[in-house]
Amino acid sequence: MAFFLGIDAGGTKADYALADEQGVIARVRSDSIKRMRVDAQAAAHHLETALKELTAKTGIAMSGIAQTCVGTAGETVPLVTDWLRAEIPARVGGGLLILGDVEIALDAAFRGEPGVLVLAGTGSNVAARTVEGRVITAGGWGPVLADQGSGHRIGLQALRALCLARDEEKTTLLLPAVLEFWQLSSFDELVAHANAIPGPDFSQLTRTVVDCAERGDDVAQAVLVEQGRELAHLACVLMRRMGQAGTFAPRLAFAGSIMEKVARVRAALIARVREEYPETQAMDGVVDPVDGALWRARGAAGIV
């Protein structure tokens, strides 16, 4: 019996799954092992702790792993990949495959086949794989330049919307809700806090925006719908590019906390895509990128 290790190494956390040829045996989570986010000592500690937890749960020694696949952002950055190539083989047996986090998420959704994946959490990105296996992307340029539909953009646009509502003398639940969340006492304090350098984490306002929308606030609802439609635009950009290349396949999958938990964003996204591509098939739920890493690990070992 062969054993496989899949790792989704994100910026704030890392997810690990230990599997055999048929299915997953155990999963654990650690703090980030991404060297662009944490120092070498902390990354090594997080990795070591997670691997020991997997062994404790399963009784399977890491030396018995046949193949590991790691998906990470920054897969072309030597600081990231050199550390992974040094530290994982020092603790885990078998081969090591390092891919981008977008690629393993696509694999989790489509198992190497064509399709479009929308990833939206704190940040966002939209990616597709063509029939030829080429990965193309839209968005993903960070919080200043892109991140449509992300937690960051939802929080920021909600603040802009509540400021406009104030100018228009329009009432919105967002103002008192944000003041309460940030523990501020006035609109002027909110303006100063939002414009501070360094600024606050706007993504933390997402739950507040969703709560206001669920309570019937028109301003909050419009923010969520707008962000869903902005993500849809990126998905349609990739679908057009796939169609022009003769590889169009209207399948849509999702990943990330916004896609999982914020129904208005997801619904607006799907509705907008279907305005242009009515035949689009939208998968239920969200994909788990670590499943794509395991699929790749098995494939690297010759197991389909």
pLDDT of residue 122: 84
pLDDT tens digits, one per residue of 28-81 = 999 999 888 899 999 999 999 999 999 999 999 999 999 999 999 777 788 889
C-beta of residue 27 within 8 angstroms of C-beta of residue 53: no
Residues 58 and 207 reside in one and the same domain: no
Tell me the average pLDDT of the chain: 94
Residues 145, 245, single domain; the answer is yes
Low-confidence ranges of the chain (pLDDT < 70): 247-249
Listing DSSP states for 66-107 in one string gives EEEEEEETTTT-HHHHHHHHHHTTTTS-SEEEEEEHHHHHHH
The secondary structure of 59-76 as a DSSP string is: ---GGGEEEEEEEETTTT
* Residue 294 domain flag: no
- Give yes or no: residues 80 and 170 share one domain: no
Which structural domain range is residue 22 located in?
3-93
Instruction: Return the SS3 of 197.
Output: coil
In 267-293, which positions are buried (b, 16+ CB within 10 angstroms) versus exposed (e)? Answer: ebbbebbeeebeebebeeebbbbbbbb
- Nearest in space to 13 (alpha carbons), one of 77, 99, 64, 73: 73
Report which DSSP code applies to 280. P
User: Which of residues 93, 125, 155 is at a domain's end?
Assistant: 93
Its pTM surpasses 0.85: yes
Is residue 18 domain-shared with residue 136, that is, in the same domain?
A: no
Whether 79 and 136 map to the same domain: the answer is no
Q: How far apart are CA 158 and CA 210, in angstroms?
A: 10
Kindly list the distances between the CA atom of residue 38 and the CA atoms of 41, 45, 51, 59, in Å, as whole numbers in the listed order. Answer: 8, 11, 18, 29
Strands (DSSP E) found in the chain: 3-9, 13-19, 24-31, 65-72, 95-100, 115-120, 124-129, 135-138, 251-255, 281-282
pLDDT in tens, 211-232: 999 999 999 999 999 999 999 9
Contact between 265 and 120 (Cβ < 8 Å): yes
Q: Is residue 202 part of a domain?
A: yes
CATH number of the domain at 53, please. 3.30.420.40
44 inside domain: yes
Residues 6+ apart with CB under 8 A from 125: 102, 119, 137, 139, 140
58 and 116 both lie in a single domain: no
Same domain, residue pair 219 and 170: yes
